Structure 1
Amino acid sequence: MKETAIVYCESNFGSKDGKTANGLVRSSRKFEIVGVIDSTKTGMDTGEILVEEKNGIPIFENLTDAIEKLDKVPNQFIYGIAPSEGFLKEDERGIVLRAMEKGINIINPLHEFFTDDKEFTTVAKQYGISILDVRKPAAKKDLHLFSGRILNINTPVVAVLGTDSANGKRTTSVLLEDALHAKGLNVAFIATGQTGIIQGAKYGVAIDAIPSQFMTGEIEHQIMRAYDNDKPDIIIVEGQGSLSHPAYISSGGIIRGSRPGAIIVQHAPKRERTGDFSYEKMPTIESEINLIETFSKSKVIAITINHENMTDEELNTTISEYELNHKLPTTDTLKFGCDKLITSIFDVFPELKSKQTVGLSK
């Protein structure tokens, strides 16, 4: 049985900075999410906010409220906010400490490592609970340099990149993984961020916490682990940030380490400024595709849309315009599923068609 988890996402559930909580509510193979803490949305159902349909996961005012209303104390307390600075706010220390005192294990996705904090480790020992720093990398002696092994494998590698951070790359990746599994294919998903790892990805590394010299090697290492252990038919690699973003370098490491044979690009058409960097205008989908194809020497085979702030009419119009102007299959995987992506992947990698055991969905 899955362990139960409460996710802390004060003032941010459903927003870009709440992406860890949002992702866990949508999909968690490792934990049963029993609630989210966000006092600004107390009493609501998380599904109402994410997909306009109840899913039975409630939102609580605070930890005390959650413990009082739940049948039993959750096993895990997950910090579900992804702030750009990656550090715990001072008032949040008390919340984490209260969770420890209730006997709840702590899962920390921040760049600040709780296992390096004397107060946290002392209290954790006192109450017999564990702390997991998801982003804490292995010792440098255990990290991997790029070896070139990936150049010798024939398994199709598809990367899901994007035009900005927190715009749905991981969500699209997970939905695509599930859709390909439903076709009977053996799929390996490579998580490259903290949320995918917490969700239960078998292979992955929080790439933005790795020293730059080891980025490509660590991505390659995770892919080769999947290749050696599971012999997958296809490998899906989650993107981070964007290649054009002036503040992030993760996309470059992911492209160089995974050497994708095909790329899907996620874009939020109504987003005018990049996430957490309001001075920076969003790139166009055209400019990002050109940059990706030049840098990677791989082709973009489809576009996926993040429908934030879009009406259904605007979304449908945008999809039609993109397909006409860019000659690429375009969809919103949350609204319409992954059929277009799978068709495009099969066109690029026709050998996969013979490996599916379930016919294409209508």
Structure 2
Amino acid sequence: MHILSSVEELQELNPFIIIGCGGGGEKFANFEGVEAVGFVDDDPRKHGTEFCGCTVSSSLLDLIDRTDARSVAIMLPIGAEGAALKYAVQAISEGKNVVTSFRSLPLSENTSLIKLSEQMNVKIKEISPRLDNIKKIFGVAPSRCTEVLPKINYRHRAPVVFVGGTSQECGKRTTTRLLGKEAMKRGLEVGVISTDEMGLEQPVDINFRAGSLSVMDVAAAIMGAMRYLEEEKDPDIIFVEGQSSLTERGNLHPRGLSASILIGAMPEFTVLCHRPNHPYREPRGVSEEIRAIEAIEPTRVIGISLNLRNMKDRTVIKRYEERFGLPAVDVKNGGSSRLMDVIMDCIGEI
């Protein structure tokens, strides 16, 4: 009843005042047949500037008085629910229809707005995440959108090392932990972020299962964790554990998760973990993963951590070094010290 499913339903509510002069507001104004007669934004830097052919205002009530708008579209991001609620109440109280989005103001969590709109004899509609369609396809779906974190953009101060891998179960958690220990031995103040609920072994400052978050929230969670660490302990270096792989063939689903962690970490340097002859995963390989990592984020892969479980041939380490032109180590047998030497040399270069 309150879910929008076509642009024709929007056209019936023309013309609009649009709240939010960002991506959401621009997308809404660009819907075919939608007429925008004004924009409102809380950012004073935008007031008086032009956005999508209109001058941005600071006051919804002022625009209601000065335009022939029949409806107000609230296109604000997650984290601005308070402002969205204020504008929705203002619009309905002035006898205007309201269109909101699940990011701005999900109606399932604001049923009082539906009652208010009924009392004022106006329409209130939501551009929803359409999880009903997912349920139609799979027979199951989340009860609500799982994207909930504010979209922060934090740039860390300390050098960050991302520990990625060519597959699952290839040694990322162990490598992250042992690099953290080695850095502490050298007298550094260390921050360690584990992106797995199994990240229980010290040293670890923050651990959480990144795979439990919406992929849209993962980068913000990583940046938020780094900001928290820098406020709490001002580390000299931060290690961020990756998950899965960007290229593994056998299990495609976590690849987006891996990319989101990498993007949130914004690392200067990356250590790549690999398990030769993996018994139950299908990694594409070291070259493919390096290309993918360095294509997604401006970082540099500076070393390889080999998981040699169940392997007796130790010459494999030298073969990997010669093949890829990178230091290759077994971190469980003293290799973390050599990797840390490489990391410190690279940090010295910048």
Q: Tell me the TM-score normalised to structure 2 length.
A: 0.54
Q: Which amino acid is 1:158 matched to?
A: V
Aligned to 2:305: 304
The answer to which of 141-150 and 281-290 deviates more is 141-150
Q: For residues 348 and 258 of structure 1, what CA distance do their matches in structure 2 show?
A: 17
Q: For residues 141 and 296 of structure 1, what CA distance do their matches in structure 2 show?
A: 25
Per-residue CA distance 1:49-85 (angstroms, 9 max, x = gap): xxxxxxxxxxxxxxxxxxxxxxxxxxxxxxxxxxxxx
Q: Is the 8 A contact 1:304 1:331 kept in 2?
A: yes
Q: How does 1:346-361 map to 2 (within 5 A)?
A: 346-350=344-348
2:204 is aligned with 1:205:
no
Q: For residues 201 and 175 of structure 2, what CA distance do their matches in structure 1 show?
A: 17
Structure 2 SS opposite 1:195: coil
Structure 1 SS opposite 2:315: helix
Q: For residues 229 and 143 of structure 1, what CA distance do their matches in structure 2 show?
A: 24
> Which one of 169, 179, 188 corresponds to residue 191 of structure 2?
188
Aligned to 1:148: 153
Aligned to 1:233: 236
Q: Is the 8 A contact 1:205 1:219 kept in 2?
A: no
Identical amino acids, percent of aligned pairs = 29
Aligned to 2:285: 284
2:273 is aligned with 1:253:
no
Aligned to 1:325: 323
Q: For residues 334 and 185 of structure 1, what CA distance do their matches in structure 2 show?
A: 21
Q: Is the 8 A contact 2:170 2:273 kept in 1?
A: yes
Q: For residues 200 and 335 of structure 1, what CA distance do their matches in structure 2 show?
A: 18
Instruction: Give the superposed CA RMSD.
Output: 2.3
Structure 2 SS opposite 1:265: strand
Q: For residues 144 and 227 of structure 1, what CA distance do their matches in structure 2 show?
A: 20
Deviation at 1:260, TM superposition (A): 0.7
Q: For residues 234 and 302 of structure 1, what CA distance do their matches in structure 2 show?
A: 17
Q: Is the 8 A contact 1:145 1:213 kept in 2?
A: no
Q: How does 1:259-270 map to 2 (within 5 A)?
A: 259-270=266-277
Structure 2 SS opposite 1:334: helix
Q: How does 1:2-81 map to 2 (within 5 A)?
A: none
Deviation at 1:197, TM superposition (A): 4.4
Q: Is the 8 A contact 2:146 2:213 kept in 1?
A: no
Deviation at 1:145, TM superposition (A): 3.1
Q: How many residues align?
A: 203
Structure 2 SS opposite 1:255: helix
Q: For residues 222 and 320 of structure 1, what CA distance do their matches in structure 2 show?
A: 36
Per-residue CA distance 1:191-213 (angstroms, 9 max, x = gap): 10011147673223210001122
Q: Is the 8 A contact 1:239 1:254 kept in 2?
A: yes
Q: For residues 144 and 156 of structure 1, what CA distance do their matches in structure 2 show?
A: 25
Q: Which has the larger radius of gyration?
A: 2
Deviation at 1:141, TM superposition (A): 10
Q: Is the 8 A contact 2:247 2:283 kept in 1?
A: no
Q: For residues 152 and 318 of structure 2, what CA distance do their matches in structure 1 show?
A: 42
Deviation at 1:159, TM superposition (A): 0.6
Q: For residues 284 and 240 of structure 1, what CA distance do their matches in structure 2 show?
A: 16
Q: Which amino acid is 1:219 matched to?
A: I
Note the residue ranges of structure 1 that are not aligned, 5 or more in a row.
1-138, 275-280, 353-362
Per-residue CA distance 1:108-161 (angstroms, 9 max, x = gap): xxxxxxxxxxxxxxxxxxxxxxxxxxxxxxx989953332222xx331000111
Structure 1 SS opposite 2:199: helix
> Which one of 340, 344, 355 corresponds to residue 338 of structure 2?
340
When residues 174 and 211 of structure 1 are mapped into structure 2, their CA distance, relative to the original with a 3 A threshold, is same
